[in-house]
Chain A
Amino acid sequence: MPIVEPSLVTVKREEKLELDGIDVSGDWNTFLEPRVHTDLDLKIVDWVRSQPQGETISRCWQCGTCTAGCCMHTDYGLEEFNPRYFIYLAQIGYEEELRKYAQTIWRCVSCNKCVERCPKGVKVEEVVHTIGTYLEVSGGAPESPADRFDRAYTENLLARGVLDEAALFRTYERLEGRKTPARDLLRLGFTMLLSGRLHTGPFAHRTRGWRRMRPVLTKILEEEERARRARVEAPASRARGGSPGRAP
């Protein structure tokens, strides 16, 4: 069956091609793009190892015990959340593949079952977060709905020091282009009104002294973000190989 999706193939037309005396002119390369993986870059694993929470990554031998018991993977059933696989991709330096999970990786609920069970003493939960941090700060990940929500949430909170839930809801709808049916809106508004959370717009609550507190908080957040980026951009020049030593 020919492949009709043009993005999947690069067609090469051979006007006149003969192989061993047989005429094989025509369209060539109408196959899928090769799936062979050809690039490995150990920058990521070096960086993860250089972080205090990430140094146990080099102990992992891919047994899968962590994934076997992982709340997200097994109990919640989020198949693409697979801590063993994240560690593997980081270990061999397959960043391109790892990037596909830049969002999923944050779904870890920090239950620490993986840490409890890992036979090699890998601090799986911390390592997974460290990998996530790398992916996030080193950039390149397309913004996901979760990212946009996070940003909207922070901005909303920073505005007055108290969350304006109704406003957040409106922003979220706008950002994601969603429309909630009027009936649901009414019911939601009514519930919020009853529970005293419908202080929005001009009636929104505000934290006392927020005008002075806000710049301080903003500055701290900015500094933290800068520090995080700096850490990724200048990975510690720790030598490769070897292990961080025996477990305590």
Chain B
Amino acid sequence: MNPVLVLGGGPAGLSAAAELASLGAPALLVEKENYLGGNPKRWHYSLLAPDLKPAEEVLGELLRKVEGNPRVETRLETTVTQVEPAGKGFRVSLRTRETLETREVGACILATGFDHFDSRRKYEYGYGRYPDVLDFKELEGMIHDDRILRPSDGAVPKRIAWILCVGSRDLQVGNTWCCRMGCAVSIKQAVEIRQKHPEIDAYVYYMDIRTYGLWEDLYWKSMQQYGVKFIRGRIGQITMAEGGKRLVATGEDTILSRPTEVPFDMIVLASGMEPGHGTQEAAKLFHLPVGPEGFLTPKVADINPVDSGIPGLYLAGAATGPKAIPDSVTEGMGAALRAFQYARD
């Protein structure tokens, strides 16, 4: 049997490759970066919401199933540059910096994922200009290394704010959707910091808190156990005060109906999820329709979320919309099963 091509080595792709191998099918795992693990690995995610389990543990489990598995052929720093039908399956061109190779595959799984929103596009928050305005994926790295220090001067911050929905739910940047994990991850970060450094005050500016499903527990705990504070209002702009030493978050506290201009030592932006570059490329390559938001669209999202509508082509993970890691892993499994059934006979 020809291998099944899995495009993308993040949680969904890893899960798909591992599942194919466990079904006894060969998988060809293609990743454009020089490592496996996708965005969680790239940005050194710390603990994963909601169970606060180390990301390494979750990813490690998946990586162990894939790396060194004789049924999984992993190709790093490789992209697919051409696709054409071949029998029931596809003929694909794999390109690395030096080589170009053509392979026949029985089916394809697109697990091309998302990119974090580039917070510089929300210019009024000063990300990229003010060193103490961080993107929350950068804070993940800091929490991971337990070095919570203000980038501008290396001081320990006394008060940190999180701003939710940066680059999500925002017509001004053209992203209308909800990122689904920004609330949970921000609250998780605030909890982690308060756990280790109770002397740091944590404030979250929100429009709505969307810790959906069982994640709500984290939200409750953050208030009851860790004293994280929540202010309802969207920050309009971040400015500098105290001679360029301290950030000021300007907004309206909509519950007080009053302007608020509170100084913070660090401000963390919960940047949203956008269709990844790889996802956009894949859409072009496979002539797949994309939704108004730019994500790939399953043919019948509610009944078969992994089916692209093209025979032998399956979708998994954040390529079809913002998704948490457990959901991506589940979809990877589903796509693997469907691809296996298709390619088997």
Contact = CB atoms under 8 A, between A and B. Distances in A.
Interface string B213-245: 000000000000000000011111100000000
B250 A69 contact: yes
24 contacts: A63-B254, A64-B233, A64-B234, A64-B236, A64-B251, A64-B252, A64-B253, A65-B251, A65-B252, A67-B254, A68-B233, A68-B234, A68-B252, A69-B237, A69-B250, A73-B252, A84-B254, A117-B124, A118-B171, A119-B169, A119-B171, A119-B172, A119-B234, A120-B171
B337 interface: no
Interface of A: 61-69, 73-74, 79, 82, 84-85, 116-121, 247
Contact of A79 (B170, B232, B258, B261): B258
B250 A74 contact: yes
A163 to B, nearest CB: 37
Given A63-B254, A119-B171, A247-B171, A68 B207 contact: no
A68 B172 contact: no
Contacts, number: 64
Nearest to A67: B252
A210 B254 CA distance: 51
Closest 8 CB pairs of A and B: A68-B236, A64-B252, A63-B234, A67-B252, A119-B170, A69-B236, A64-B233, A64-B254
A117 B236 contact: yes
Contacts of A117: 124, 172, 236
A85 B251 CA distance: 14
B234 A65 contact: yes
Contacts of B169: 119
Contacts of A84: 252, 254
B171 A68 contact: no
Nearest to B208: A61
Contacts of A79: 258-259
B233 A73 contact: no
Contacts of B258: 79
Contacts of A247: 171
Nearest to B254: A64
Contacts of A82: 252, 257
A68 B233 CA distance: 9
B257 A85 contact: yes
A66 B250 CA distance: 11
Contact of A65 (B236, B253, B257, B261): B236
A247 B169 CA distance: 13
B207 A61 contact: yes
A135 to B, nearest CB: 19
Given A68-B237, A84-B252, 12 more contacts: A63-B234, A64-B253, A64-B254, A65-B234, A65-B236, A67-B252, A68-B234, A73-B252, A73-B259, A82-B252, A82-B257, A117-B172
A120 B233 CA distance: 14
